[in-house]
Amino acid sequence: MNKVAVLTLFVGCCAMFVTGAIVKEGDVLDIQVQDHPQFSGRYQVKEDGTTDYPLLSDIPVVNLSVGELMNDLTFRLAKHIDSPLVWVTIVDKPEMNITVLGRVKTAGPVTTYVGASIQEVIQLAGGVQERADIERVKIIPEDGTDADARFFDFKEFLRDGEYAKLPPLADGDVVILLSEQRTSKVKLIGAVQKPGFFELEEEMNVFEMIYLAGGPAEKADLSRVRRFYKNEDGKTIEEVLNIQSYLDKGKMDEMPLVNEGDVIIVYARWFDWKVMLQVLNNVLLFIVTVQSLRGALAR
């Protein structure tokens, strides 16, 4: 019996013990060639129906049974090695390796299964760190560059819970959680000497920030200072602070701190004692003048 006949008989016997499973797009094929690790490995069936397995890259393997694929591969290997012993299986839950970088608690490679969501991958990396920009999660394919990157709004998914919007991940992908882009400037407007934007270079409270803007103007009302800031969920919060009460009580250590991106408005007093006294003085002067005129006319 010649070599080809022996191979045909062997493959036929093996095919009896494998399932009649049909190879589909996206399947992961575990190809094992006994004593030849260079011809062994796991290969995913691509969209065009081919794989990256060197001896099969020129033909589509979709819609072939596992037995047919083993038969074809055995004859192809016979041109390179003697009496190849080949076994092909479709991996039920194939593993894949994803590298997770950036604002996660444990950056580095994680091992998961094909079909795992980006949420599961981030969780395997320890979860999201503070100030991660989850609105622009960056995904770079294996051997890709920044030009090949796509972005995913993970925050929108957490809000809407639409599973269909989760991006598919492939073995070798790199997932990067970028730092949230925040301005380091604080805006002060209203009754301050020098309204505008100011760089927040160190920890400062609201009162210190007002003095960085030249201090309060003459008619500034420090009992009614409005501040806009963003909370941990990214929502804009508005609050009215009575800075004067902190000053009167000497509780500077309890003064609210300023955050990057805050907007502070110092309002002017609508009631001013100096103006009021000046008005009263003018009114009295007018009354005295009128009375003097009346007295002169009465003579």
- Residue 14 clears pLDDT 70, i.e. is over it: no
Name the band, by pLDDT with cuts 50, 70 and 90, for residue 118: very high
Kindly report, residue by residue over 209-227, the tens digit of the pLDDT: 999 899 999 889 999 899 9
- Residue 11 clears pLDDT 50, i.e. is over it: no
The reported pTM is: 0.46
pLDDT averaged over the chain? 84
The backbone torsions φ and ψ at residue 117, rounded to the nearest 5 degrees and listed phi first, read -85, 165
Residue from 161, 85, 175 nearest 128 by CA: 175
- Tell me, what's the pLDDT at 184? 74
- Tell me, what's the pLDDT at 76? 92
Report the distance separating Cα 89 and Cα 69, nearest Å.
10
- Tell me, what's the pLDDT at 276? 56
Task: Report, as an integer, the average pLDDT of 163-180.
Answer: 89
- Residue 271 clears pLDDT 60, i.e. is over it: no
Q: DSSP strand E in the chain: where?
A: 28-33, 41-44, 86-90, 95-102, 108-113, 132-140, 150-152, 174-179, 185-190, 196-199, 220-230, 236-241, 263-268
Task: Report, as an integer, the average pLDDT of 254-282.
Answer: 77
CB 220 within 8 A of CB 192: yes
Q: Give 202 or 220, the one with higher predicted confidence.
A: 220
- Tell me, what's the pLDDT at 113? 84
Kindly report, residue by residue over 222-256, the tens digit of the pLDDT: 998 999 988 877 788 999 999 999 999 988 889 99
> What domains, with CATH codes, occur in the chain?
3-90 (3.30.1950.10), 95-179 (3.10.560.10), 185-268 (3.10.560.10)
